[in-house]
Structure 1
Amino acid sequence: MTAKRFKSDAFEAIHSAASGLRKAKVIDTKTMREYEDLCLEEPPHFEAKDIVLIRKAAKVSQPIFALYLNTSTSTVQKWESGQKHPSGMAARLLQVVKKHGLEVLT
């Protein structure tokens, strides 16, 4: 399971309190989802052109880029054509590569 990323320490404390209330059945699942939306950081969103720019800045081909990101060349091609969008861990890895370069993954 991926660790939850909170917007701040304060939001983490609010989420923790809400989780306790949920376990005690004081708040319902719908309300807990509202706390999740409020407190948790959204994964980054990348458009096709963003992914192309990140890969080209790294000066690698699609197959090499896919190897670094532990995905398939086909997936990278779909991201770059806009047929799919990276989510979850892939989006986080792209965020890291954009900020620190591909070398950080070696």
Structure 2
Amino acid sequence: MKMVKKYRSNALASIHETMEVLHEIGAVDKQTMREFDESCLAPVLVMSPEEIRELREREHLSQPVFVT
């Protein structure tokens, strides 16, 4: 399953994607990449199990479909 990333802005998306490439080739270390993740990526919405179930039911999605 491929994760979909949400960025704080288009500019930060471009910067982050560039840093990912630099990380892949070894020019940027893991700690620096974590810092860029925190700066560039939008925070993840934390949902309770009940909220997730309500969302699935509202959208008519089974559990296996929801997680893919």
* Greater RCO structure (CA 8 Å; 6+ sep): 2
Using the alignment, how far apart are the partners of 1:26 and 1:32 within structure 2? 10
Indicate the structure with greater helix content: 1
Shift of 1:14: 0.6
The code of the aligned residue for 1:5 comes to K
Paired residues for 1:1-106 under 5 Å: 1-45=2-46, 66=53, 69=56, 102=58, 105-106=59-60
SS in structure 1 opposite 2:44? coil
- Structure 2: gaps spanning 5 or more residues: 61-68
Using the alignment, how far apart are the partners of 1:42 and 1:31 within structure 2? 18
| Aligned length, in residue pairs | 58
Aligned-residue CA RMSD (Å): 2.8
SS in structure 2 opposite 1:69? helix
Q: Percent identity?
A: 22
Greater radius of gyration (CA): 1
Using the alignment, how far apart are the partners of 2:29 and 2:20 within structure 1? 10
- CA 1:43–1:68: 2 relative to 1, 3 Å: closer
- Structure 1: gaps spanning 5 or more residues: 56-64, 71-101
Match of 1:95 in 2: none
- CA 1:28–1:69: 2 relative to 1, 3 Å: same
Shift of 1:34: 0.6
State the TM-score, normalizing by the size of structure 2: 0.65
The code of the aligned residue for 2:24 comes to K
